[in-house]
Chains A and B, each alone.
Chain A
Amino acid sequence: MKVLLVDDEEQFRTAVAKQLSVRGHTVHGAGTGEAGLAMAKAISPDVVLLDMRLPGMNGTATLKEMKRVSPLTEIIMLTGHATVKAAMEAINMGAFDYMTKPMGINELIYKMEDAYKKKRLAKQQIKVATTPVNNR
């Protein structure tokens, strides 16, 4: 899986990237919402892990913009401080899930796999639905 991890804590980025890499995933990192957006456009990630608390453009604004630019992108929001209000906002904006740090690496990977599968299926459905019947 091609994963984009947007989090301003470099230590967290490094630790997660290392754990995902050894399991065969490619991880790209960004420290701000703006950098995350630029990176998302450049690499078209399979799944985005996006921290709620970011300097400058915050997680919610970044989520909104990412979903606007690429509605099929599946984004898992991460937070150090869970609040019902922020979680509802994120899910209603189309986040795939909202996870509280620290999370187990397996739990995170399962979530990423589920998100990626959802994206793949949605893409296939669009492709089939938009292909003329005699071309299938």
Chain B
Amino acid sequence: MMNLIPKTLARLFNKGPKPDPSNAEELRLNFKSRYHHFKLLLNANNRCLEEMAEMEQALKGDKTFGMSFVRTCCTAISVNVLTMINNMEHLSPGKYPDLGPRFDAIRRELDRLLHPKARVQEERLVIPFDKINQEMANVVGGKMAKLGEIKNQLEINVPQGFVITATAYERFIHLNDLQDEIDTITQASGADDLKKLDIISAQIQQKIITASMLDGLETAVNENWNLLEQNVNRPLQLAIRSSALCEDSLDSSFAGQYRSELNVDQENFAQVYKEVVASKYSVQAMTYRLNKGFRDEDIAMCIGCMEMIDAVAGGVIYTRNPVNADDDSVFINSAWGLPKLVVDGSDAFDLLAVSRNQPFTITQRDIGEKTIRYRCSQGDGIEKVPVPEAHRTTPSIDDPTALTLARISLAIEEYYTIPQDIEWALSLEGRLYILQCRPLQQKKRTMPAPDLPGLAPPLLSGGITASPGTATGPVYRAIRDADILWFPENAILLVDQARPRWAPLLNRAAGIISEHGGFAGHLANVAREFSVPAIMNIQGALETLEPGDVITMDADTCSVYKGEQPAILAKEQPPRPSPMKQSTVFKLLEQACDLIVPLNLMDPDATEFRPGACKTFHDITRFIHERSVHAMFNFGTNNNFPEHSSKQLHYHVPLNWWILNLDDGFSATVTGPYVRLNTIASHPMLAFWEGFILVPWDGPPPVDGRGLMSVMFRSTMNPSLVPGVRSKYADKNYFMISRHYCSLNSRLGYHFSTMEALVSGRASEDYINFQFKGGAADYDRRIKRVLFIKEILETYDFTVTVREDTLTARMEGQGTEVLKTRLMILGYLSLHTRQIDMIMSNSRRVRFYREKIGNDIDERIIKPHFNKEEEHHG
């Protein structure tokens, strides 16, 4: 741009015939309208840059976001790029026909990314277990696909049943036009705002529960249900279990995040189906998906319907120790009654460890005091009942049953070749059933700390390591569901029972302490996934630990200490994963950014600076921005319209500064060739100018020998750079101004800079953009200079990037007063950093100039504008 503007300027001064006065009004109006389109274009450009910055920020990985964030960013950028193209068309009709096709091509790529992937074609709404295998995970969900596989391939006993497919789910959602509504509701909520999530979760679940049932689904379910009853020749109640797509993978178990309904009567099926589908939008499931970066549309809720086994005992088997990768024992967790008690961590249960080598032997036997059990109610549902006194401390399974369970589990582990987490039940008739199995993630055990002299004894010890590691933070006691809404970041969650409902806090909690539960519960499972240290089943925790008190917990030794204990925290920690970075949504954002953010069109003078060469949206915006400035400059000239041709700035004497008034940048009509400073009404230009003349320049810094040699060498290569030689590149500076806007293209000495600022009082739209490049010294010193300027600008809150010897600085979202002082700083730097590249290899001189500049800015610019010493944000 800077090379083209002088040519434009030369034309501006060509004296041609004055326009016909009858056309003057039309021209004036036309100019006004063009300026408005230019402003709309700049606004859109600004929005694009803001959205790009937000996307790049999200890619740093510390922000939790869902698909609505990705969609909203992509849509906003697409809209604004198209707005820029449309406004460019107003400024230069028909001049850039390739912009539209380039935009469309990139947008189609974006569409392809954002469009949910096509599902496997499957017409069946219901599929019996006999027909299910592992390959059908995308039709019946991972949980049921695995159950079908072990039934049909390993011939392991599982309850008889059938699955309601992903096809049924999609048709149900489509029939009720729910997806659009769900997307609309979720978009309104911030990803990590649990209070809002609580409200929208209730709204969405309500919509699903009151939706119409899918035609044909009830009939298909009834047919399959009746077939099951015919097989056993009696009425059957079923367990209705969620089996969502993407569930039960090694890294993402979704343990306990969705709803399952036990002992359901056929009459109530339709309602229960909708309730289980609705549980896809429970607070914990939505939080889990957000934290793990799953796309909502990728997760269809399939549902397993299986014969309800009213168990005499049940529980969970881990085929290896989840918190110690070196321990290969098989762990059988067992409780009286239904296995639910083990996974929801609400009471004590038994733990038997079995060695995996033949002959299997029981190597550990912890018999818990089991006070309650779950059983099937007479009608629908299940109930909690007390365990008779005599059975409380007796083992819930005998040794042969334990050994049979170990054998079955190891067969499953061998088949899948990785450790397994298996839910089982022993029926009243004495038959063993496998109800669910999923991969088990093992954690490397962190070593217990050596004896630490001087460490006070722990406040508490005992319990079970549910997830290894150490943590410190204030105690937060949660009792009711609503307590999660006020959970402070990095506190230690203290609960009575290790229920899955606390899972939404795992992204915020430093650690978990629970009076009940074990390492086999859903909460423990998810705590390990998020690498949050957890101690379960630690007695007296609720009584001993005071809410708000800072404690340190060591989950490896199951100890809790008063205060922050650096010696304990210094132990090697299991790495805390960033689930977002591995997730589908994150990868999608990365791919979308690749189409949007990279800037390839750097040099406006290069032959590749053309619409057809735009590879990204950023290239398009860069191209348009550059050309729109030209289009505005050219208009007055092309129409030979003196009112809108440039004037030379007269400040004591005529200066090499030319000003083009875009709209209301002059306070009075300027008829002659000069404009005086007191006629200029552009706030941003005046602020820049104030900084420029604030402290007189004391001439170029004394050049050291190496600096001078460098200039001599470059000058011989490029004669136009020799000082004193008049060339079209000699010092000239061009402002385009209106009352609230100014755009500066400047060449001072050997460096180019451009500055653009909108200071209208609309804080959300106002901005400053500054670009700086070049210099006379060698490359190394030029780089040092941009880094020198970068450091200064960053001190005053600019966002600065440096690419080779080009510096780009940006500021937005600030009030008028802050922007004004920043423009003054840019004005000041434009004068005082000229030729400073010459001394960049002399560190003593560099320090001197850094101090002088910092002092000038603070004393002469910042202090007079703010009462306090420095208020970067006004």
Chain A interface (Cβ < 8 Å from any Cβ of B) = 53, 79-85, 87-88, 91-92, 97-98, 100-102, 104, 106-107, 110, 114, 117-118, 121-122, 124-125, 128-129, 133, 136
Contact = CB atoms under 8 A, between A and B. Distances in A.
Contact of B764 (A85, A91, A107, A133): A107
Interface in B134-189: 180, 183-185, 187-188
Given A85-B111, A110-B765, A121 B76 contact: no
Interface stretch (B67-75, B241-249, B533-541): B67-75
B764 A106 contact: yes
Nearest to B764: A107
A82 B29 contact: no
B184 A80 contact: yes
Interface stretch (B30-38, B600-608, B784-792): B30-38
A107 B107 CA distance: 25
Given A84-B111, A97-B83, A53 B180 contact: yes
B25 A98 contact: no
- The majority secondary structure among interface residues of chain A is helix
Given A53-B180, A106-B764, A133-B22, A114 B40 contact: yes
Nearest to A122: B33
A98 B79 contact: yes
- The majority secondary structure among interface residues of chain B is helix
A100 B75 contact: yes
A91 B33 contact: no
B26 interface: yes
Contacts of A122: 33
A114 B764 contact: no
8 contacts: A81-B71, A81-B183, A82-B71, A87-B78, A106-B763, A107-B764, A124-B29, A128-B25
Interface in B57-95: 68, 71-72, 74-76, 78-79, 82-83, 86
B78 A84 contact: yes
A84 B107 contact: yes
B75 A80 contact: no
Nearest to B33: A121
A82 B184 CA distance: 8
Given A92-B82, A110-B764, A114-B40, 8 more contacts: A53-B184, A82-B72, A82-B76, A97-B83, A102-B188, A118-B37, A121-B33, A128-B25
B714 interface: no
Contacts of A82: 68, 71-72, 75-76, 187
Contacts of A97: 79, 83
Contact of A128 (B29, B39, B114, B765): B29
B40 A129 contact: no
A33 to B, nearest CB: 16
Nearest to A95: B79
B814 to A, nearest CB: 15
A84 B74 contact: yes
Contacts of A102: 188
A91 B762 contact: no
Nearest to B82: A91
A81 B184 contact: yes
Contacts of B262: none
A48 to B, nearest CB: 17
Given A53-B184, A80-B187, A128-B29, A91 B79 contact: yes
B30 A125 contact: yes
Contact of B32 (A98, A110, A121): A121
B795 to A, nearest CB: 29
B43 interface: yes
Contacts of A114: 36, 39-40, 43
B27 to A, nearest CB: 10
A97 B39 CA distance: 14
Contacts of B39: 114
B506 interface: no
B83 to A, nearest CB: 7
Contacts of B313: none
B422 interface: no
Q: Which 8 interchain pairs have the tightest Cβ spacing?
A: A80-B184, A82-B75, A81-B183, A81-B184, A121-B33, A133-B22, A82-B72, A98-B79
A125 B74 CA distance: 35
B65 to A, nearest CB: 14
Contact of A125 (B29, B43, B111, B188): B29
A89 B783 CA distance: 46
Contacts of B818: none
A100 B529 CA distance: 35
A88 B82 contact: yes
B110 interface: yes
Contact of B26 (A85, A88, A104, A128): A128
Given A87-B79, A97-B79, A118 B71 contact: no
Interface string B756-792: 0000001111000000000000000000000000000
Contact of A84 (B29, B33, B110, B763): B110
Contacts of B26: 125, 128-129
B680 to A, nearest CB: 23
A84 B114 contact: yes
A106 B763 CA distance: 9
A88 B25 contact: no
A84 B111 CA distance: 7
A53 B110 CA distance: 23
A133 B23 CA distance: 8
Nearest to B71: A82
B91 to A, nearest CB: 14
A79 B107 CA distance: 19
Contacts of B37: 118
A91 B86 contact: yes
Contacts of B43: 114
A83 B75 contact: yes
Nearest to A127: B29
A31 B594 CA distance: 41
Contacts of B110: 84
Given A100-B72, A117-B36, A118-B36, A88 B184 contact: no
A88 B185 CA distance: 22
Given A80-B188, A91-B86, A118 B762 contact: no
A35 to B, nearest CB: 21
